Amino acid sequence: MSNAYEASGVNIEQGYEAVERMKKHIDRTKRQEVMSQVGGFGGLFSLASHSYKEPVLVSGTDGVGTKILLAQQAGILNTVGIDCVAMCVNDVLAQGAEPLFFLDYLAVGHNDPSQIEQLVAGVAEGCVQAGAALIGGETAEMPDLYAKDEFDLAGFCVGIADKSALLDRQGVKEGDILIGLPSSGVHSNGFSLVRKIFFKDHQWSFDQCLSDGTKLIDALLTPTKIYVKDLMPLVKQGLIHGMAHITGGGFYENVPRMFNEDLCAHVQVTSWEKPLIFSTMQELGNIPEEEMYQVFNMGVGMVIAVAPENVDTVLASLPQAVKLGHMTRKTTTEQANIVLNFTEVEA
């Protein structure tokens, strides 16, 4: 048999091996609705067992961004798959939908079955954390597009909700209380700035430690937190009026996405403790505080709006969450839909 394709840089046999290595990780994500096996032309997922009156499918797609460059350079490959899933399922969750299944797209310069297994193992772990099935994907070996050690990872998620239970801009009301759920760190946004600060401007090494002793690479590659299992029960109980996933654009861009233009979110930024990684970056980069909240999550990965009478119930279910602020009617003097208060409020 001719080896012309291999001579061009694509190894079919290694592709087969990579698929075999994936199977045990994919099996961890199985749900009863999955109808297909790995290797088909499409993933099959049955909705017959769901009893929604007006079912709506909610989809989201994303990648890992330039955080993936650090994973490549550090040789730490089993966490960015969690990031990829998290960026998608948290967006779907923000609409009030339960994630059902996920598909990934992995592009590599060289098909190394061991490397691919680690990446897909991360994707599978993210799916397990989200309760979503990994029902398919694609691995593309493209030696002319990527260098031998380069890869990229993206994917998409599909979730489901009853039409009446969707979280949209109409749900958040004047007087609602804003509650924040802690992030696990930088998550997967702002890494072009992260890399510039630490590695271009200050030449930090991966093993250099923050002031608390944490290695820099460990702090930066901590996977994005997945909030599905914490928040979905509250969504189904009707206790959440709105939800904002704090991703690219930080607080200023994402919080206003969950309510109408006639409202304004007031956030007291001294109400929670910021992870050390953010103050370290701010100091090294000499970044204004307002800009930090425009780029990063600053320690809060998800913001939810809750009716005042339900706050105690919600906080009891989310022991690490904190009250961040409240919703008001937007006044004629307010130009923006969010106001961040940076001064300490007296008790």
Q: Which residue type, as a one-letter code, is found at position 146?
A: Y
Could you tell me the CA-to-CA distances from 216 to 6, 42, 247, 280, 296 in Å, in that order? 39, 40, 21, 11, 17
Spell out where the chain has E strands: 55-63, 98-108, 133-141, 151-162, 177-182, 242-245, 263-268, 300-306, 322-329, 338-341
| Residue 7: half-sphere exposure toward Cβ, Cα within 13 Å | 4
pLDDT, one tens digit per residue, over 215-239 is: 999 999 999 999 999 999 999 999 9
Residue with tokens 């989200």, as numbered in its chain: 130
For residues 160 and 90, the answer to whether their CB atoms sit within 8 Å is no
Residue 264 CB coordination number (10 Å): 20
Q: Is 10 exposed, middle or buried (0-12, 13-18, 19+ CB in 10 A)?
A: middle
> How far is residue 64's CA from residue 252's CA, in Å, rounded to a whole number?
21
One domain for residues 212 and 161: no
Last residue in a domain, options 105, 138, 165: 165
Contact 96, 162 (CB under 8 A): no
Asked whether the predicted pLDDT for residue 269 surpasses 70, the reply is yes
What does pTM read for this prediction?
Answer: 0.94
Q: Are 142 and 17 found together in one domain?
A: yes
Bridge partners (DSSP) listed for residue 268: 341
Q: Do 182 and 323 belong to one domain?
A: yes
Q: Is residue 347 part of a domain?
A: no
Q: Give helix 113-130 / helix 228-236 axis angle, nearest 10°.
A: 30
Report the alpha-carbon distance of residue 229 to residue 38 in Å, rounded: 26
What pLDDT does 248 receive?
A: 93
Asked if residue 332 belongs to a domain, the reply is yes
Closest CA to 226 of 114, 340, 62, 75: 62
Residue 300 has pLDDT above 80, yes or no: yes
Which of these three, 142, 165, 188, is where a domain ends?
A: 165
Kindly state whether residues 201 and 132 are assigned to the same domain: no
pLDDT for 13 equals 72
Last residue of a domain, one of 105, 133, 165: 165
Confidence of residue 6 (pLDDT cuts 50, 70, 90): low
Domain that holds residue 225: 177-341
**Residue 157 DSSP class:** E
Handedness of CA 282, 286, 290, 291 (dihedral sign): negative
Q: Are 191 and 48 in contact (CB under 8 A)?
A: no
Q: What is the number of structural domains in the chain?
A: 2
Decide: 336 and 253 in contact? Cβ < 8 Å.
no
Amino acid 10: pLDDT: 66
CATH of the domain at 191: 3.90.650.10
Position 23 confidence tier, pLDDT thresholds 50, 70, 90 = confident
CATH of the domain at 65: 3.30.1330.10
pLDDT tens figures, 57-113: 999 999 999 999 999 999 999 999 999 999 999 999 999 999 999 999 999 999 999
For residue range 137-158, what is the model confidence (pLDDT) as tens digits? 999 999 989 998 899 999 999 9
- What's the token pair of residue 196? 């510039």
Cβ atoms within 10 A of the Cβ of 1, count?
A: 3
Q: Is 261 exposed, middle or buried (0-12, 13-18, 19+ CB in 10 A)?
A: exposed
Q: How far apart are CA 290 and CA 296, in angstroms?
A: 10
